[in-house]
Amino acid sequence: MHCLTHRLLCAAHKNNELELQMATGKRVIVVGAGPTGLITALGLARQGAQVTIIDREQEILRWPRAMVYLSSTLKVLDELGLLEAAQKIAAWGYEYHLHFAMTGNVGRLDFRDVEDLTPYAYNLHFGQDLLAEIVLEEFLKLPGTELLWDVVFDTVLENDEQVLVSVLTAEGPRTLEADWLIGADGARSSVRKELNIEFEGFTWNEIFMATNVVYDFDKHGYAPSTMLANGANWAVIAKIDNNHQWRIAYAEAGELTEEERIARIPERIKQFLPDPKQSYELLMANSYRVHQRSASRYRQGRVFLAGDAAHATNPIGGLGFTSGIQDANMLIKCLGGVINGDYDEDALDWYAYERRRCFLEIANPTAIEFKRRTQETNPVKRKEDEDNFVALMNDREMRRQAMTSIFNLSGRDYRVDWKEVYLHADEAGTSPTLGAHGGVVLSNERS
């Protein structure tokens, strides 16, 4: 067993002894130890909830997943007191590049252009496994917290007072009692399926490949966040750390077998290297299907969906991971407010409504457009895309709006009259907009 995992489990057992000392008596079960589940668990535990995380894996997963932390995510980490630890282990990114293969031109955005608007004018790059370590180190310091690995969610029964969660463990079946259940168990969510909630949308035909390689892209002037707009040979290239580890993500035909996709990795990777003669080292690879889907509802009674369990999108642009962190942030505020008596349960309906709106109106269409732009094959459209990006680069206000628009994914703050102020306006198409900076106070102060 991974040494950190063993230490964390020991800490969990010690914390369990303190459960009876909890003042609130509000118990939450989180299914899924991914970024969304872990952030949610930490935020709620910080507000006095007794939180149990369960996950079917035996320890923190180390295979390739999202690892670019955009500005709005950094704000959440900062509010939770995690940003400094993240900064110490991360590679920093100040630029985004879009390579137009048809002409050889490169579109560039520099996040330092918005330093007067936000203290988060940069990206951080590091693996989700390292985020998990940071979060769990803090989570398991808190009384009433526990993390149960190798535990599989089975069923849930709920009434007006609690949820009864049946799980499968190495020792056999077990029932856990709680006040609330949060399903953050990925796109194949067992919680969502148990509730018979539809996962509406579609699945793309191609298979996405995520490869981690050692290669000196820095030497060739690549930005830490780079996209190659090159039809079928598109790629997303992103820095993982400061040791020349990079992620190269691309697509393969869905009809290929996994063995064929693996066999093609050397040939495909060389297509994306600025100097194919320069050697590289393949560290690991992962393949997965990509969806554009949303749950038909994000709340059912005492059960909530968050992250990929609630919605799934293609990863180009990082909007799926970013949306999941914002789900966690709003769930912390809304459910935390209910637990502490600051909000009525109406705030939980707001969570379900607003997070679904943010996905359907912002994340989903934007991710589809990112995918189209990188994979476009029509020469006329490719030239139009390039011209539009050049126009963006040359217009300071447009450029700044584009770089701060990620804060729109944060959504709007809860207010007791949201049905009168927001819901009616949304239905009429006249809802107040968040503005260029997502309705948050953006200054040089960390508000």
SS3 of residue 283 by DSSP? strand
What is the per-residue pLDDT for 7? 41
What is the per-residue pLDDT for 85? 98
The pair of three-digit structure tokens given for residue 302, joined into one six-digit string:
């005492």
More confident residue, 438 or 5: 5
Q: Which of 304, 406, 407, 296 is nearest to 351 (CA)?
A: 304
Q: Which of 167, 174, 127 is nearest to 321 (CA)?
A: 127
Query: Which residues, 6+ apart, have CB-to-CB distance to 433 below 8 Å?
Result: none
DSSP string, 74-114: HHHHHHTT-HHHHHHHSEEE-EEEEEETTTTEEEEEEGGGG
174: β partners? 167
Average pLDDT, the chain: 90
Count, residues in the chain = 447
| Domains of the chain in sequence order | 3-64+128-200+294-359 (3.50.50.60)
Q: Quote the CA–CA distance of 424 and 401 in Å, as a whole number.
A: 27
- The phi-psi region of residue 438 (left if phi > 0; otherwise alpha if psi is between -120 and 50; otherwise beta) is left
Task: Find the range with the poorest average confidence among 60-64, 75-79, 311-315.
Answer: 60-64
Amino acid symbol at 440: V
Q: Quote the CA–CA distance of 313 and 4 in Å, as a whole number.
A: 31
pLDDT tens, position by position, 365-422: 999 999 999 999 999 999 999 999 999 999 999 999 999 999 999 999 999 999 999 9
Beta strand 50-54 pairing with 27-31: parallel
- The arithmetic mean of pLDDT across residues 35-51, rounded, is 97
The pair of three-digit structure tokens given for residue 236, joined into one six-digit string:
């997303």
Task: Find the range with the poorest average confidence among 42-51, 320-329, 437-446.
Answer: 437-446
The pair of three-digit structure tokens given for residue 59, joined into one six-digit string:
């320890």
The pair of three-digit structure tokens given for residue 283, joined into one six-digit string:
């560290």
Above 50 in pLDDT, residue 445?
no
Q: Quote the CA–CA distance of 427 and 446 in Å, as a whole number.
A: 34
Residue 211, φ and ψ in degrees, nearest 5: -120, 140
Q: Which of 320, 318, 213, 324 is nearest to 272 (CA)?
A: 213
Strand order in the sheet with 245-252: 105-110, 95-100, 225-229, 235-239, 245-252, 199-214, 281-295, 311-312
pLDDT tens, position by position, 158-191: 988 899 999 999 999 999 999 999 999 999 999 9
pLDDT tens, position by position, 203-218: 999 999 999 999 999 9
Beta strand 180-183 pairing with 27-31: parallel
Q: Quote the CA–CA distance of 338 and 356 in Å, as a whole number.
A: 20
Above 50 in pLDDT, residue 446?
no
